[in-house]
Amino acid sequence: MASRLNPYLSFDGTAKQAMEFYRGVFGGELALNTFGEYGDSSAPEADKIMHSSLETPSGFTLMGADTPPGMEFNPGNNMTVSLSGDDAGELRGYWEKLADGGNVTVPLEKQMWGDEFGMCIDKYGVPWMVNIGSPQG
């Protein structure tokens, strides 16, 4: 397998719901593993997500987990997920679903560099950038 770059998101107890939301946005196969599957099944965090991975039909990979006990949770610090390409219909569809229930910080519209671009923070506090470029060729 080739090397790949993908975001890994941290949540404060909402990883399962958030990753299911992203599966609803992008489609694909979602694998969820709880802390209880790999440790003490009676611990308070046993039903929380230790690791999850979403593999989408478009080739995206998104991973996430609930923040383990004892670690600080800082939503959105130094992290933005970027979606870019030239399939305007696909990217606008993602944009609409991500922005629904969230906060649009930059509307998806034509920018000075010629592409359509927008920024939003989804309902789970994750910041997103969407850039729709002109098809090449």
Strand order across the 61-66 sheet: 8-11, 61-66, 49-55, 29-34
pLDDT at residue 22 in the model: 97
pLDDT of residue 104: 97
Tell which wins on pLDDT, 133 or 54.
54
Residue 69, pLDDT > 90, answer no
What range does the domain containing 28 cover?
Answer: 8-66
Local confidence band at 57 (pLDDT 50, 70, 90 cut-offs): very high
18 shares its domain with 60: yes
Of all residues in the chain, what percent are helix, strand and coil, respectively (each to 5)? 20, 35, 45
pLDDT tens digits for range 3-22 = 667 898 989 999 999 999 99
Average pLDDT over residues 27-34: 97
Burial of 128: CB neighbours in 10 Å, binned 0-12, 13-18, 19+:
buried
Q: Is the pLDDT assigned to residue 47 strictly greater than 90?
A: yes
pLDDT level of residue 70 (50, 70, 90 thresholds):
confident
Last residue of a domain, one of 43, 66, 89: 66
Task: Examine the domain organization and report whether 86 and 61 are in the same domain.
Answer: no
Q: Residue 72: which H helix or E strand, with range?
A: none
For residues 14 and 62, state if they share a domain: yes
Residue closest to 69 by CA, chosen among 13, 124, 30, 27: 13
Do the domain assignments include residue 3?
no
Angle at 30 (CA atoms; ends 58, 120), nearest 5 degrees: 65
What CATH number does the domain containing 48 carry? 3.10.180.10
Question: pLDDT exceeding 90 applies to what percent of the chain?
Answer: 64
